[in-house]
């Protein structure tokens, strides 16, 4: 059975653009994976009247599940629990268990008394079932509505995510027992543009049994997401993608990133890496160290921003003068020098013009050279990226990872 869900995120900060609505993203993804059809995501202000109105609308339009987040805090601007009590025409009641949890939480942090307004966070509407929050202060809760459910969770993303996984997901599985997760395929691709991917997939890829297809470009890479009614269809499509996109695919999982795939490949081949980066200012090293256990293959990176530091690493002053810091020769020299200095198998050197100033006719903004050295060879890539400074840096780091990924294979 397909059930319809709506996400209602509450908070003035969401409407004003001061906070990115990551709860909507998280909930939409989780619910879709579980098999819900998410009909709408609504962000609404901390206003009891609007919350009541949006909830009524969600229940009448879309029915089965409404998940609300935020506005359960202790301050007067957090009004979600009062709004729901009002909507259901019930009083608020006190959860002794959550209050005991709050007191424990305070004691753990060396505070002896719980402020009186924090007590408010242990209340829930009388017709609801509490959802204990072990990760913070505000109690969550849910209310049965006919065959449907209204679930209310705190706004703090880390609390919401943990409570969803621990409490809400099992609740939904129990309540919507004939929920059918839709088979899904995620494909993460580097080194091919969207049109190139579509060309490689070919028209016949879309013939046969229908499926949902989405293709999404992000900085320096592209993701494909496919959903179908049956696992069989997914399997058939996976086989086609493997054949047609081959080594450009680095993962078939949502949460895998390129630096992780590169790390796995390095571990597998027992190879190490060091980096000397100029225009990316540490972005590449930062990407690599986001992966736990990176010390197994990553010795370190240097941000050789100023020419004097490039010289310290062993780049000839005359070379810098003759060819310029942004040149193929310097990128190669950086890769070789850092590899030698840090005694690693691979060495990467990056130099370029991130902009917005500093470009010229011969060396425009966005021009980046990436050198890659091994004990046997040293190779180079010259790329002209477009975008602002941050985009050029991100794309250059991604390109270096892609370059290394193909080299390791």
Helix, strand, or coil (residue 6): strand
Nearer to ligand ATP, 8 or 222 (CB): 8
Residue 81 beta carbon to Mg ion: minimum distance, rounded to whole angstroms: 12
92, 81 Cβ separation under 8 angstroms: yes
Nearer to Mg ion, 58 or 68 (CB): 68
Residues at the site binding Mg ion, with contacts judged by CB under 5 A: 11, 70-71
Residue 323 beta carbon to ligand ATP: minimum distance, rounded to whole angstroms: 48
Residues at the site binding ligand ATP, with contacts judged by CB under 6 A: 9, 11, 13-14, 19, 21-24, 69-73, 78, 121, 136-138, 154-157
Residue 123 beta carbon to ligand ATP: minimum distance, rounded to whole angstroms: 12
Partner that binds at residue 69, options ligand ATP, Mg ion, none, CB closer than 5 to 8 Å by kind: ligand ATP
Nearer to ligand ATP, 80 or 285 (CB): 80
Residue 11 beta carbon to Mg ion: minimum distance, rounded to whole angstroms: 4
Beta-carbon contacts of 325 under 8 Å, excluding residues fewer than 6 positions away, are 278, 307, 310, 351
Nearer to Mg ion, 71 or 355 (CB): 71
The whole-angstrom separation of Cα 70 and Cα 155 is 4
Burial class of residue 57 in the structure, from the number of CB atoms within 10 Å of its CB (0-12 exposed, 13-18 middle, 19+ buried): middle
Nearer to ligand ATP, 28 or 227 (CB): 28
Residue 78 beta carbon to Mg ion: minimum distance, rounded to whole angstroms: 5
Burial class of residue 238 in the structure, from the number of CB atoms within 10 Å of its CB (0-12 exposed, 13-18 middle, 19+ buried): middle
Beta-carbon contacts of 64 under 8 Å, excluding residues fewer than 6 positions away, are 3, 4, 5, 36, 147, 148, 149, 176
Partner that binds at residue 326, options Mg ion, ligand ATP, none, CB closer than 5 to 8 Å by kind: none
Residue 249 beta carbon to Mg ion: minimum distance, rounded to whole angstroms: 41
CA angle in degrees (0–180, nearest 5) for 185-189-191:
165
- Give the strand pairing for 92-94 and 123-125: antiparallel
Partner that binds at residue 156, options ligand ATP, Mg ion, none, CB closer than 5 to 8 Å by kind: ligand ATP
Going by C-alpha positions, the residue among 375, 384, 383, 385 that lies closest to residue 407 is 375
Residue 59 beta carbon to ligand ATP: minimum distance, rounded to whole angstroms: 20
Nearer to ligand ATP, 23 or 327 (CB): 23
Partner that binds at residue 355, options ligand ATP, Mg ion, none, CB closer than 5 to 8 Å by kind: none
Nearer to ligand ATP, 101 or 136 (CB): 136
Residue 68 beta carbon to ligand ATP: minimum distance, rounded to whole angstroms: 9
Residue 21 beta carbon to Mg ion: minimum distance, rounded to whole angstroms: 12
Other CB atoms closer than 10 Å to residue 329's CB: what's the count?
18
Nearer to ligand ATP, 139 or 404 (CB): 139
Beta-carbon contacts of 283 under 8 Å, excluding residues fewer than 6 positions away, are 277, 393, 394, 396, 397
CA distance from start to end of the chain: 44
DSSP 54-111: HHHHHHHHT-SEEEEE---SSSTT--HHHHHHHHHT--EEE-HHHHHHHHHHHHHTT-
Beta-carbon contacts of 306 under 8 Å, excluding residues fewer than 6 positions away, are none
Nearer to Mg ion, 68 or 335 (CB): 68
Helix, strand, or coil (residue 46): coil
DSSP 165-188: IIIIHHHHHHHTTT--PPPEEEEE
């Amino acid at each position: 059975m397909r059930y319809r869900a709506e996400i209602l995120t509450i908070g003035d900060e969401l409407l004003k653009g001061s906070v990115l609505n990551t709860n909507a993203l998280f909930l939409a993804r989780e619910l879709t994976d579980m098999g819900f059809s998410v009909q709408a995501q609504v962000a609404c202000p901390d206003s009891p009247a609007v919350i009541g109105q949006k909830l009524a609308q969600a229940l009448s339009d879309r029915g089965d599940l409404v998940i609300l987040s935020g506005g359960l805090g202790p301050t007067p601007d957090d009004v979600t629990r009062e709004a729901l009590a009002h909507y259901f025409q019930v009083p608020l009641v006190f959860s002794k268990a959550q209050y005991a949890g709050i007191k424990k939480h305070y004691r753990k942090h060396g505070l002896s008394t719980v402020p009186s307004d924090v007590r408010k966070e242990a209340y829930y509407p009388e017709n609801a079932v509490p959802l204990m929050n072990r990760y913070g202060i505000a109690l969550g809760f849910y209310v049965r509505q006919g065959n449907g459910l209204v679930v209310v969770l705190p706004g703090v993303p880390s609390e919401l995510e943990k409570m969803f996984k621990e409490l809400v997901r099992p609740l939904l599985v129990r309540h919507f027992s004939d929920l059918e997760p839709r088979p899904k395929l995620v494909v993460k691709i580097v080194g091919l543009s969207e049109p190139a991917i579509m060309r490689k997939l070919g028209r016949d890829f879309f013939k046969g049994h229908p499926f949902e297809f989405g293709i999404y470009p992000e900085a320096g890479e592209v993701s494909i997401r496919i959903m179908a009614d049956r696992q069989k269809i997914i399997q058939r499509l996976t086989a086609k993608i493997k054949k047609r996109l081959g080594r450009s695919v680095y993962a078939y999982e949502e949460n895998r990133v390129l630096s992780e795939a590169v790390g796995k490949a390095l571990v597998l081949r027992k190879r190490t890496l060091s980096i000397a980066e100029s225009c990316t200012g540490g972005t590449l090293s930062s990407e690599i160290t986001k992966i736990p256990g990176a010390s197994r293959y990553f010795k370190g990176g240097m941000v050789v921003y100023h020419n004097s530091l490039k010289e310290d690493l062993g780049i000839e002053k005359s070379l810098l003068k003759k060819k310029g810091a942004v040149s193929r020769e310097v990128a190669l020299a950086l890769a070789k020098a850092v590899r030698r200095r840090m005694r690693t198998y691979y060495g990467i050197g990056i130099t370029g013009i991130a902009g917005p100033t500093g470009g010229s006719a011969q060396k425009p903004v966005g021009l980046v050279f990436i050198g890659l050295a091994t004990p046997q060879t040293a190779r180079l890539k010259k790329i002209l990226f477009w975008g602002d400074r941050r985009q050029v840096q991100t794309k250059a780091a991604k390109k270096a990872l892609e370059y290394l990924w193909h080299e390791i294979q």
